[in-house]
């Protein structure tokens, strides 16, 4: 009789657990103004949220972008804006301002950029968050690599690729993806208007393009 009661309790517990709502996967997009704008109705964060939550999936998607941020800004605010939210997955897209602002004397040197990036990843791994990192996309859309800061963007992209390989984290190679898209769709070698509004911030096509790349990377982790 005792065995029967114990067995009944186990079955009851299993059935109860099976009807509990599944835990949402908390996904945070962490970055600068491109990500800040990504939470707008047709932004890449909003679009990725819609795609990921179709078909019965359950993601809690959060945009944590602030305009003008560089890698050390992300490091300084990550406890409040990311870790405090107990994320399952964090997508980091930073680097454009670290390069772009060099023209104003406030950019980030390559060695400092790498150190802060590694420190961010270390803190995220310490709380068991899965990490995806992104190469900086573009500062000017000319497809022949004649944009003023292409050299630095390529250099910083190589740093991020190496970090992804060494740290065994996910990579969305936006620098490569954007360049390939520009080669195929920017025959006029225009500086803007293909994937961006101004050479940096995404237009409608750019938001769709990035959203699909982000979704693909997130799904690889599941």
Mean pLDDT of the chain: 92
Measured distance between the N- and C-terminal CA atoms of the chain, rounded to whole angstroms: 43
pLDDT at 192: 98
Query: Could you tell me where the DSSP H helices lie in 127-221?
Result: 150-167, 174-185, 204-220
Q: What are the residue ranges spanned by the domains of the chain?
A: 21-220
State yes or no: pLDDT of 219 exceeds 80: yes
Nearest residue to 120 (alpha-carbon basis) of 83, 175, 165:
83
Average pLDDT rounded to a whole number, residues 31-59: 95
pLDDT at 23: 80
pLDDT at 21: 52
Average pLDDT rounded to a whole number, residues 80-99: 98
Say how many C-beta atoms besides its own lie within 10 A of residue 41's C-beta.
6
pLDDT at 22: 67
Residue bearing tokens 């995404």: 202
Average pLDDT rounded to a whole number, residues 52-61: 90
Please name the CATH architecture into which domain 21-220 falls. 3-Layer(aba) Sandwich (3.40)
Contact 92, 32 (CB under 8 A): no
State yes or no: pLDDT of 15 exceeds 60: no
Q: How confident is the model at residue 220 (pLDDT cuts 50, 70, 90)?
A: very high
Average pLDDT rounded to a whole number, residues 102-129: 97
């Amino acid at each position: 009789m005792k065995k029967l009661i114990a067995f009944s309790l186990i079955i009851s517990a299993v059935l109860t657990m099976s009807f509990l709502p599944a835990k949402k996967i908390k996904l945070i997009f962490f970055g600068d103004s491109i990500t800040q704008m990504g939470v707008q109705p047709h932004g890449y964060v909003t679009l990725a949220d819609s795609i990921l939550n179709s078909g019965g999936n359950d993601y809690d998607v959060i945009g944590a972008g602030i305009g003008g941020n560089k890698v050390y800004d992300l490091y300084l605010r990550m406890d409040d804006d990311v870790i405090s939210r107990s994320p399952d997955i964090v997508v980091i897209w930073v680097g454009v301002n670290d390069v772009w602002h060099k023209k104003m004397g406030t950019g980030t040197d390559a060695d400092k950029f790498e150190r802060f990036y590694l420190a961010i990843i270390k803190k995220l791994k310490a709380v068991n968050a899965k990490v995806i990192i992104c190469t900086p996309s573009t500062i000017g859309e000319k497809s022949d690599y004649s944009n003023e800061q292409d050299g630095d963007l390529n250099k910083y992209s190589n740093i991020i690729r190496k970090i992804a390989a060494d740290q065994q984290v996910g990579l969305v190679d936006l620098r490569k993806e954007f360049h390939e898209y520009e080669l195929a769709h920017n025959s006029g070698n225009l500086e803007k208007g293909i994937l961006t509004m101004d050479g940096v911030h995404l237009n409608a096509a750019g938001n769709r393009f990035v959203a699909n790349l982000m979704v693909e990377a997130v799904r690889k982790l599941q």
